[in-house]
Each structure stands twice: as structure tokens, then as C-alpha cells.
Amino acid sequence: MIGSGVAGLMSALELPASARVLLLSRDTATPAASRWAQGGLAAAINRDDSPELHRRDTLAAGAGLCDPEAVECLVRQAPAAVDTLLQLGLGLDRHGEQLSTTLEAAHSRRRVLHVRDQTGLALVELLERCIEQRSNVQWLRGTVALQLWREGNRCCGVQVRCHERLGWLRAGAVVLATGGCGHLFSNTTNPSGAHGDGVAMAWEAGAMLRDMEFVQFHPTALMQPGAPHFLLSEALRGEGARLVHADGKPLFASGSELLPRDQLSRCMVREMRRQQQAQLWLDLRPIGQTKLERQFPMILGRCRDLQLEPLQQPLPVAPAAHYWMGGVATDLQACTSLQGLYAVGEVASSGVHGANRLASNSLSECLVMARQLAAADLPAPGPAGRLEPEQPLAWEPSEALQQRCSRSIHALRQLSWQAAGVERNGHELRLAQQQWRQLGSELNLPGALAPLEQQAPGSVLVLNQQQQRQLGWLWECRQRLINTGLLLEAAAFRAESRGGHYRNDVPTPLPYWQRHTIQQRGEAIRSSSGPGSH
């Protein structure tokens, strides 16, 4: 299991006690995005709601590209997943006896359950405690997965760096729970680790990727100079916060605050362009002090840490990359196109979100798909490889290359934001592809990384501190390069607008394009109709 966000932890927990699970996670400096999830998890639990209404809202948001079976699975099983969490002890907020629900964009009912404004954190901490009790789960922290081990059409393990050692781990099944790619963009609500390592590994191993062009931009990220683009949850607008101009006048007629995220983000970007401003403003005061302090203490605290006082002034906001709908194509058991390789959570394209995700469906998806994975018939591990004695690694990449990588990461993030941000355009995407090719050939990473890539299974290499640091930079740069290239290619290929993908040169959806985009190493990009496409 690679990744220790909600998808990885819940999958490890749901697997039968007979399964021997090795849970790999990076160090604490790169937290899983799940920890930052604010809004909550969507489930139709109220009397005025039903899985049918939840299904309709999810399909409408997905703009014709959801897999109806996957959506059905999500909306039917989400209430049971909530029961499981309550049994495990999750302290979901309540009004008296009733679970409290809030409203987010494109939901026809209040169905977002929450733990104040830190639902993700509360969930991760609970699941971590549960995992500690499980004797069949061994947790290897400080471990970075580098590439998948493929034999024939089968994934049989993974190459990892665990502190100073580099080696291969054999496994009957490898589960990617590595999260999304929001940090490929310069403006994002995601942590720095969200650069799509799982997607890049799956692509390199030849697994099928689907719908990589579909990125969701969240309308309200904080835009305070020098501070990260901190998410200001949509639940704030669900509870009455208003978007306003610098002079405090409302931006929209009442009700538009909860337009679908893609529409609202575009309206905001156009308004910002018209005013030649880098931000608009979100006024939290209509929510009222009592509710703000009760339901959104973390947001208030972080604003105050930045010397912003939301009870006295509107907050500077702008759209930022938030969630990746595309990813490694999976079926309803989380199987990818490569035997032995599974994917759960944001790294996967399970068919639940289509071209645009309904807010707060992602935590619910992690919980439901973890159970689906656990019900799959996972292969047993093959024979353990013989480990060769440890060898020091003979590899000296230059400091200059490391610095070039760091500059390239910055350039790639700007490129993604400018060419594949909220509004895209075929011409600019093609220019960006040229720049991307140029960056890649200047770096020549394949040459620099060859000694690591070609490490023989069974051997263990020992890295000194400088090698560990340089390997980190180079590998991350390579994965970002792969993913940015895939994103630009898919966005240039889909010559229409749909869901999170908006092209101002083709601003409407086209009937032909009610199909998925498929990318697989060694093959030309193509489109495919039908939910299977896997």
C-alpha cells in the first residue's frame, strides 16, 4: 500500500486480517492532502435526501463522463461508510442527536458531514489510531516509492528508497493510494507532495491513464502574499459567505456563490482580468461570529496567524488547482489495466467523478472504494527475492543538475497554470507543449537517473546524505515532467469544453467528445467511449 492518506489507511484497514499489508508513507514534511480536507464527506443521510438525489447531483456535475455504475456504488454505500466511521469513533458534528450537514456547490440537499473545518485531519488521525492496533499492517514511514516492478503484464513490487537504502520490495498486489497532482500548478490548495507520483509510476509501468485533462479549480483559495494558497472551504459560502469587490459590493446576485466550481472559477477569473486584479474578496461576516467560531475554528485561526481578521475584513481569494478527476483507470474493484496493480482515491480514475467532481464526494469515494478493493480477489505474494549484500551507490549527480531541477519545477508549475489553468486555449496549449519538450531535453534526466532505474531486483544500494537529497529532487522533477506532459497533451487533445476542462477556443461541450481520453506509454493518445475504457 503506497500512501497514508484516507484512501491508503482505509484500504489497509478494510483488507482482511489474513492479508499481510506493508504500508509505505513518505516523511512528515510531505503530509497527505487528506489531512487538509476541510468541507467533509458527502452521504445522503437526511430525511429529505436519498441516494437517488445524490446520484443525480453527482452525474450532473460529472458532465456526461461519470460511470453510472461507479456512481451508484458510491451513493448507495456512502451512508454505510458513515456508520462505519461512527462505530470507529469519528466525532462528526451534531445538532443535538442529529448529525449536522452543510451545503456545498451543486448539491441539491445539505449532505456534507463534517468535523468542524478539519474533517480530513480528524479522519486521518482516527484511521492512524485504528491501524496501530492492526497486527497484520506494518507501517514503513520515511519511504519513497520510485518505480513499479513489472514482469510481463504483471506488477509484482516496487522500488523504494527507505532512508539511506534503495531496494526492491516484492508484493502480491501493489495498491497506489498516492493522491493527486494539484501541485503541478503554481496556484494550488494542495501540499507539495501532490505532484502525482503514483500516476507517473503507473504510466511508466504501462498502466492505462484516463481523463488527465480534467482538473477541478477551487474558487476560493486565500491569496495573501507570501502565504500558501490556503483553502477557504466552500462550506463557508454554503453557510452565507459572499464574494465581494474591493469596495465591499457583492460580486453576484445572491445564489451565484454556490455555482458549480468550474463556472464560478471562470466568472472570477474574468472579473479579475477585467479589473486587472490578482484577487477578489470573500466576506465571511454574513455567517455570523458564533457560527464562524463554532464551525470554522481552523480557518479563523490560520487567517489570524497571517494577521487577517475575518470578522472585520473580507479575505483576498482567487481560484487554485484543487482536485484531479483523471488518473489511473480502474474498475469497480480498484483494478488497473496492469495485473497486480490497484489504485484508490485521487490517484485513480474510478468513474465516480467524470469531468467534474461533486464537492466532498472524494473522501466518500476513498471509503467506499477501500471496501470495494478489500472485496477483490487479491493475488498472493510471489516468492521473496534473495537480497544481495548492500553496496554503496556509485552515482554522483552534479549540484548544477539539482539546481536546474529546482528551476525547472518552478517553470513547469507556471507553465501548467498559464496554459492549463481555469481557461485554456488550443494554441497556447501547443506552445506550452513545445516549452515542455525544451525543458525536458535540457534536463536530460533519463541519462542522469539511469544507474538508479537499472538497479537489479534483489540488490540493496546504500546512499549517502547528498545522494538521498539529490535523488529526491531529480526523481520528483522527472515525475512532474511526465505528468505535466500528460496533462498538456490531454488538454490539447480534447477540443471542446466540459466539466473542469474549459477551452475558450471551443467553449461548449461537443457530442462527439462524450468520451474518455486514454493515455498509455508507447501508444498515441486516443479517445474511447463507454465507461469501461480499461
Under DSSP, the state recorded for 231 is B
Nearer to ligand SIN among residue 282 and residue 359 (C-beta): 359
Q: How far is the CB of 436 from ligand SIN (least distance, A)?
A: 28
Burial of 225 (0-12, 13-18, 19+ CB in 10 A): exposed
Q: Contact region for ligand SIN (CB under 6 A) — 47-55, 228-236, 329-337, 407-415?
A: 228-236
Q: For ligand SIN, how many residues bind (rule: CB under 6 A)?
A: 10
Task: Look at the block and give the residue holding cell 440537499.
Answer: 109
- What does the per-residue mask of binding to ligand SIN show for 315-354, with x meaning CB under 6 A? -------xx-------------------------------
Task: Answer yes or no whether residue 359 interacts with ligand SIN by CB under 6 A.
Answer: yes
In DSSP notation, 49-100 reads --HHHHHHHHHHHTTT-S-HHHHHHHHHHHHHHHHHHHHHT----EETTEEP
Task: Answer yes or no whether residue 38 interacts with ligand SIN by CB under 6 A.
Answer: yes
Q: How far is the CB of 41 from ligand SIN (least distance, A)?
A: 8
Q: How far is the CB of 421 from ligand SIN (least distance, A)?
A: 17
Q: Among 58, 336, 360, 402, which residue sits at the site for ligand SIN (rule: CB under 6 A)?
A: 360
C-alpha cell at 186: 503554481
The answer to whether residues 142 and 27 touch, using CB atoms and an 8 Å cutoff, is yes
- Using only C-alpha atoms, the chain has a radius of gyration, in whole angstroms, of 22
Q: Compute the distance between CA of residue 365 and CA of residue 78 in angstroms, rounded to an integer.
A: 8
Fill in the amino acid letter for 472: G
Q: Which residue is nearest to ligand SIN (CB)?
A: 39
The answer to whether residues 14 and 137 touch, using CB atoms and an 8 Å cutoff, is no
Task: Answer yes or no whether residue 101 interacts with ligand SIN by CB under 6 A.
Answer: no
Nearer to ligand SIN among residue 115 and residue 401 (C-beta): 115
Q: Among 233, 372, 467, 517, which residue sits at the site for ligand SIN (rule: CB under 6 A)?
A: 233
Task: Answer yes or no whether residue 103 interacts with ligand SIN by CB under 6 A.
Answer: no
Q: Among 39, 62, 196, 351, which residue sits at the site for ligand SIN (rule: CB under 6 A)?
A: 39
Q: Among 15, 43, 200, 235, which residue sits at the site for ligand SIN (rule: CB under 6 A)?
A: 235
Task: Answer yes or no whether residue 155 interacts with ligand SIN by CB under 6 A.
Answer: no
294 is catalytic: no
Q: How far is the CB of 38 from ligand SIN (least distance, A)?
A: 4
In DSSP notation, 188-214 reads BSS-TT-S-HHHHHHHHTT--EE-TT-
C-alpha cell at 120: 480530513
Task: Look at the block and give the residue holding cell 438525489.
Answer: 53
Q: Which of 237, 242, 261, 478 is catalytic?
A: 261
C-alpha cell at 277: 486584479
C-alpha cell at 442: 535540457
User: Which residues of the chain form contacts with ligand SIN (CB under 6 A)?
Assistant: 38-39, 233-235, 322-323, 359-360, 362
Residues marked active site are found at: 261
